[in-house]
A and B are shown apart, each in its own frame.
Chain A
Amino acid sequence: MSIMRVRWGPQHPVSGQWAFWLDVDGDIVVNMEPDIGYTHRGIEKVAENRTYIQNVPVVERTSVFDAGNIVFGYVQAVEELMGIEIPERAKYIRTIVGEMSRIVSHLYGLGLLAIAVGFETMLMWFINDRELFLDLFEMLTGARITYSFFIPGGVLHDLPQGFYDEAMRRLDYFERRLKDYWKMFFLNRTFITRTRGVGVLKREDAIRLGVVGPNLRASGVEADVRKDEPYAAYDQIDFIIPTEKEGDAYARGGVRFHELEQSVSIIRQALKKIPDGKIRVKVPITPTPPKGEAYSRVETARGEIGYYIISDGSNRPYRVKISAPSFRNLLAMPFLSRNVPMADIPTIYLSLDLIPLDVDR
């Protein structure tokens, strides 16, 4: 049979902001090529045009789904360049915000995975419970998803009054909901049959292709920046890194689900342990770090993000390289969609949790 080239997206309900070229033979996809760049804003170039502080909201737009952790890496790199040590309390607040951001992002990703397998109800549940944490963000930072809360030197605000009780109340509720999710979603026959064995990524392939984050851990590699190279307050908190061996779509969903549980426990511990003190050190409004370079790694919801910042001694960065997690996971997408039925493509795509925004930057 002849091979036909089909274009998928960008105007397609699950495609998001990009397109795929699919070479199909009947119903089987023989080759797949991503067609990206639909949201290429040139963040790395624009960042050279702004001062270090002005860049915080700019780099945040790399992926607004997980705004906390994305900015985390940037401010850490700037702090390393300037040689600043931030106060203990700021570290804990950063940990709390980072984990809440991870929960928000995972709920979004799992909700989308639910659409791919035809679970409209689960989407509604996940997105609705996401609002629990968006409200907490609003209480803490004043914005729902783009809060630009971290600045070089610390964080912008202290925890507001009543935040502890409110957060604990919501976490209790959320933990009850997690049990429901497990029963309704992950033990559901339909869900299992539609995701088990789809898009199997083996351990060696995952490492070879440079896959990161939950996708790597679902293939059995225990690699997490929070453990390998503890930043903020992660070295003072107990948690485990969930891993799975199978490497299929179900395992990737499962890893993210277990990470939700871990995040809840991390936030609890951090809220209990948080010390008193200052929330930031004084940093000039246009910082001028000395000449040098820094590479900072942070574990975002989709995997490790790397910021490579070169300073030439002026108040603007000479080069900012963002090595975004979805860009690194992207290589797995053509690899996995070879010789699979067309109907599996949405499941593979959404189980990898690829976001076109941080692919394009």
Chain B
Amino acid sequence: MMRKVEEWKEGRCRLFHFEIGKIQDWKPVKDLLNWARAWSLWSVHLCTGCCSPELMAVACSRFDAERFGTLPFPTLRECDLLFILGVVSEKMAKRVKITYEQMPEPKYVIALGDCAISGGLWWDSHNVVQGVDKIIPVDVYVPGCPPRPEAWIQGIRLLQKKIMEGR
């Protein structure tokens, strides 16, 4: 029994003639997995800056990002998308890092707002990290101060495209 569990974990378990780990590399299965991933991006509920009011607008019924499978969710162990909502201060930077490390693989990051991209309005501030990509890797950047809900949704769509292309 234990051996079986170990095998599952390492992806060596056999299903019919294939090793599970190998199946994932098989193109149709890989595409299927990526498709499933792309349409169920659950996002962590972590607000960092003043772009956060638009999160409500995006999550609620007018713009409704849930159409694309994106749902803010409290438990970050079940999430695979991290929205950086604007400015990241030095105090917050540590928490962002901890949050990112706790999320299970595969995980994606969307940086929203000029501040998260490059420091934006706070280019000279004493307490702002100049761009969130100094701390964690970022997949999609969405400019704006704050980005309009349409831009958020475009960002989500871009990320989906990226995932489905297997990058």
Contacts and interface: CB of A to CB of B under 8 A. Distances in A.
> Are A and B co-members of a single complex?
yes
Contacts of A108: 53, 56
Interface string B85-102: 001010110010001000
Contacts, number: 92
A161 interface: no
B52 interface: yes
Interface in A130-183: 130-131, 134, 144-146
Interface of B is mostly: loop
A38 interface: yes
B60 A127 contact: yes
A340 B52 CA distance: 29
Given A11-B76, A17-B52, A146 B60 contact: no
In this complex, the member of A11, A63, A144, A360 whose beta carbon has the largest number of chain B beta carbons within 10 angstroms is A11
Interface stretch (A42-50, A200-208, A221-229, A268-276): A42-50
B50 interface: yes
Nearest to B51: A64
A145 B48 contact: no
A39 interface: yes
B46 A10 contact: yes
Contacts of A242: none
Given A17-B52, A108-B56, A357-B50, A40 B95 contact: no
B124 interface: yes
Contacts of B45: 11-13
Contact of A11 (B44, B60, B125, B148): B44
A301 to B, nearest CB: 13
B124 A17 contact: no
Contacts of A131: 57, 62
A304 B92 CA distance: 28
A243 B57 CA distance: 30
B122 interface: yes
B128 to A, nearest CB: 6
A40 to B, nearest CB: 5
A38 B99 CA distance: 14
A46 B124 contact: yes
A34 interface: no
Given A11-B44, A61-B50, A146-B145, A42 B125 contact: yes
B53 A46 contact: no
B49 interface: yes
Contacts of B148: 144
A42 B72 CA distance: 29
A197 interface: no
Nearest to A130: B57
Contact of A127 (B44, B56, B91): B56
B46 A39 contact: no
Nearest to B85: A17
A69 B61 CA distance: 27
Contacts of A41: 87, 89, 122, 125, 127-128
A250 interface: no
A124 B60 contact: yes
Interface string B143-158: 0011010000000000
Interface in A14-37: 16-17, 37
Contacts of A360: 89
A204 to B, nearest CB: 34
A145 B122 contact: no
Contact of B46 (A11, A45, A57): A11
Contact of A40 (B57, B74, B89): B89
A123 interface: yes
Interface string B53-74: 1101100111000000000101
Given A11-B95, A124-B60, A145-B146, A17 B125 contact: no
30 contacts: A10-B46, A10-B92, A11-B45, A11-B46, A12-B74, A13-B72, A16-B52, A17-B48, A17-B92, A38-B91, A38-B92, A39-B89, A40-B91, A41-B87, A41-B125, A41-B127, A41-B128, A42-B122, A46-B124, A49-B124, A58-B121, A61-B50, A61-B121, A65-B53, A111-B56, A128-B60, A128-B62, A131-B57, A131-B62, A145-B53
Closest 6 A/B residue pairs (Cβ): A127-B60, A13-B74, A38-B92, A64-B50, A42-B125, A11-B46
